[in-house]
A and B are shown apart, each in its own frame.
Chain A
Amino acid sequence: MNVIKAEGLTRVFTGRPDRKNRLRRSRHVAVDHLDLSVEAGESVGYIGANGAGKSTTIKMLVGILVPTSGAVTTVGLHPLKQRRALARRIGVVFGQRSQLWWDLPVRESFSILSAIHGLSAADERTRTAELVDMLEMGEFLATPVRQLSLGQRMRAEVTAALLHRPELLILDEPTIGLDVLSKQRLREFLVTQRREHGTTLLLTTHDMGDVERLCDRILVVDHGRLAFDGTLDGLARTVGARRELVVDLATATGDLVDLDGAEHVRSESDGLRQRLAFDPQRTTAARVLAAVSERAEVLDLSITEPDIEDVVREIYRATRR
């Protein structure tokens, strides 16, 4: 079954009248004839540059915005005409806007949301307990939401979106601003959730880590159009999503060129620090490191993941040609 199906989905914004020329209104095509289908149980990363049309698409999927043209169904429902039925079957986390009641304890917000979604008292208890346990929220259940750290709040937001066991969970920038540990914990939880309940995931993100650990399918949107639709492997093949190994060497060394499976990017401080790019599909960091160690003594190292902005830029470059 198609959990999300969009055909020719288009959204045009007509801006306010121009300050200088009152008769001319700016016209901005945010989503441009987008065709999209997501199957039940998939986990889809929806990525693109700022203003590429991600949020607009999501708003149309959940019934906040009306498409200018084209059709969309979410879990088989019409998001506008059947908004309320839809709200019972999907969960949404907007990283920037809160579902929770700012000045109430977290527990209270869960209780109100359970009532809103029509959970029975017994169901509310078991479901809340389950999520609280999995996301380790016991220690701050009695804390007012406004006093939570960002990581804590995000866990509570995700719980708020999952209380009614939605078939589809939409996450808009769920890990933005979180520390490494909080990100990790949230990702693990989402993976488990999906495995155990078969929840379909759609998430927008600026974090390549989210995509790599959570998504088995990636959609890249560019100027409102799909620029890429495929697997992570496919994405890596298209843009050569490479990682960078940064090594600090004991002595100034000449550029480490001709290494097996890695390419020299640049050297700094007379070759004391060198950056090497490699394709994780073809080799591993350990093998590259071993090759470096044959030539120089390595004092320290770090691996940087490709920036999603770079990946997106690469995709854009590849598809616009």
Chain B
Amino acid sequence: MAEPEEQRRVRVLRAYRAVLASRARSQASHRASFRMDLVGAVLVGLIEFTEIWVLYSATDQIGGFTLAQIMLVFGLSDLAFSLADLVAGHCDNLPVYVRAGTLDVFFLRPQPLLAQLMTSDLSLRRIGRCLVGATSLTVGLVLNDIDWSVGTVGLLLLALVCGFVIFTAQFVTAAGLQFFLINGSEMTNAFVYGGRYAATQPAVVWPRALLVVFGVIFPVAFAAYLPVSTLLDMPGPLGLPTWLGWCAPVAALWAVTVAGLCWRWGLRHYRGAGG
């Protein structure tokens, strides 16, 4: 007997909400350690900002960006990454899920596996990181001379959403690849955390090889650097047009496609069909 689609969706949402609410409750119940993690996350974020501050204070500008300008790039990318980390950061623990048999259990439940993996945890302590990014972004917006309009606001929102999607996709890509790299999962750190680091920098300073890696394959340049360049009306790298920042949705779509393929490929390998 077919269940109405609407009703089915409500039930599934209820299931996810139940899991996530329980995760949140269980984290909040270990209050002392939760607070410590929260403070720790803020601290790590602050230190990372301090590095940028030290570097850009020691010199006038790097790659055409002043401290005030780079605060926009840092803030936007760090906020997007932290939000993605909140939602999908546990995905790159896939080998742990495999070893503990949690993944096999996911197969026994009537929800899509990726949805189960993503909703299996929610690290609220990572909220701390969002604060640092949001603050840097806000200060950057105040310090810079920005020509406010519907377009600027739209560009910022678009960049934030696309950045979030791009980084989430990196986590899923990492999870898919880790089916093959159970002992070598650190390899995916290169583009997940390396990507985060890269996204806080002006792409013009990257070595050529990395322009392809982080501009195209794992398109984190579209998470903050390119939209901010558009926002500040600065020319893109390699003589690329200023409006390139508006292409963030294309990059996000590409990242999602790559993530979907990697995840399916990894899953096929796990089930023994592809390998």
Residue A83, interface by CB 8 Å: yes
Instruction: Give A175 Cβ to nearest chain B Cβ, in Å.
Output: 19
Segment with Cβ contacts to A, from B31-39, B70-78, B88-96, B109-117: B109-117
Measured CA separation A62–B110 after assembly (Å) = 12
Q: Which residues of B contact A117 (CB under 8 A)?
A: 109-110
Of all chain A residues, which has the CB nearest B270?
A64
Residue A87, interface by CB 8 Å: yes
**Residue in A80, A98, A115 whose beta carbon sits within 8 Å of that of B15 in the complex:** A115
> Is there an interface contact between B22 and A116, defined as CB atoms closer than 8 Å?
no
> Is there an interface contact between B110 and A87, defined as CB atoms closer than 8 Å?
yes
Segment with Cβ contacts to B, from A88-96, A147-155, A230-238, A308-316: A88-96
**Residue in B11, B15, B105 whose beta carbon sits within 8 Å of that of A99 in the complex:** B105
Residue A103, interface by CB 8 Å: yes
> Is there an interface contact between B110 and A94, defined as CB atoms closer than 8 Å?
no
Q: Which residues of A contact B14 (CB under 8 A)?
A: 115
Of all chain B residues, which has the CB nearest A93?
B108
Residue A208, interface by CB 8 Å: no
Interface of B is mostly: helix
Of all chain A residues, which has the CB nearest B102?
A97
Residue B150, interface by CB 8 Å: no
Q: Which residues of B contact A111 (CB under 8 A)?
A: 18
Given contacts A85-B110, A87-B109, contact A112 B19 (CB under 8 A): yes
Residue B240, interface by CB 8 Å: no
Given contacts A104-B26, A116-B109, contact A97 B104 (CB under 8 A): yes
Residue B207, interface by CB 8 Å: no
Chain A contacts with B in 72-126, Cβ cutoff 8 A: 80, 83-85, 87-88, 90-92, 94, 96-99, 101, 103-104, 108, 111-112, 115-118
Q: Which residues of A contact B11 (CB under 8 A)?
A: 115, 118
> Is there an interface contact between B109 and A65, defined as CB atoms closer than 8 Å?
no
Measured CA separation A59–B165 after assembly (Å) = 34
15 residue pairs A–B, Cβ–Cβ below 8 Å: A63-B107, A63-B271, A65-B272, A68-B272, A83-B107, A84-B110, A94-B101, A94-B104, A101-B19, A101-B22, A112-B18, A112-B19, A116-B18, A117-B110, A118-B3
Which residue numbers of A lie inside 8 Å of B, CB to CB? 11, 13-14, 59, 62-66, 68, 80, 83-85, 87-88, 90-92, 94, 96-99, 101, 103-104, 108, 111-112, 115-118
